Amino acid sequence: MIMATGLRKFALTAHVVFSVGLLGAVAGFLALAVAGLNSEDAQMVRAAYLAMELTARFVIVPLIFASLLTGLVQSLGTTWGLLRHYWVLVKLLVTVIVTIVLLLQMEQISYVAGVAAVTILSSADLSGARKSLVIHAAGGLLVLLVPVALSLYKPRGMTRHGWRKQYEQRPVSQPETQ
């Protein structure tokens, strides 16, 4: 089922807005993680980790689910399809993996924020967890650039399902009459 032009453009706009918002939110989260890890100011460290939890919980998680949902709507409602092109499948796979990693990281984010809320963190306190937050944020930001590149370049390559669908949609040629 192909969406009407107006609905397709609306869905595409929503998907782009959510995806770009997600990139910006992850970049902001990364900035907070770096500040929390490197700052000598105890209040700055505390504020960074508290803000990181709020950003992750109320901005990044909703945006990644919105991006995933609108991406599914786009793929199912356009000729690109969900299973026809490898680049669409890779985008879906990357987004699902990032979502899973984010959800698994939420416990650690909440833990570090909880500790920061009740005590002053020294540079040695929770250093492994704090470094992990920086690494995951930087890695997440880089990985999220893959779907952006795929969306822009749309590399060739159809799946078997895509080839079959394309073959099924070809008009049947009429025998020539003389």
Q: Locate 62 and state its tokens.
A: 């909703």
Model confidence, pTM: 0.85
Handedness of CA 65, 142, 32, 121 (dihedral sign): positive
Single-letter code of the amino acid located at 26: V
**Is the per-residue pLDDT at 172 higher than 70?**
no
Mean per-residue pLDDT, 45-54: 96
Give the max Cα distance, the chain.
91
Q: Which residue ranges make up each domain of the chain?
A: 5-165
User: Can you give the pLDDT at residue 79?
Assistant: 77
For the cut 60, the answer to whether the pLDDT of residue 178 exceeds it is no
Give residue 166's pLDDT band: very low, low, confident or very high (50, 70, 90): low
Six-digit token pair at 30?
């990364």
HSE-CB of 129 using CA atoms within 13 angstroms:
17
Helix (H) or strand (E) holding 10: helix 5-38
Instruction: For 83, list phi and psi in degrees, rounded to 5.
Output: -115, 10
Query: Six-digit token pair at 173?
Result: 């040629």
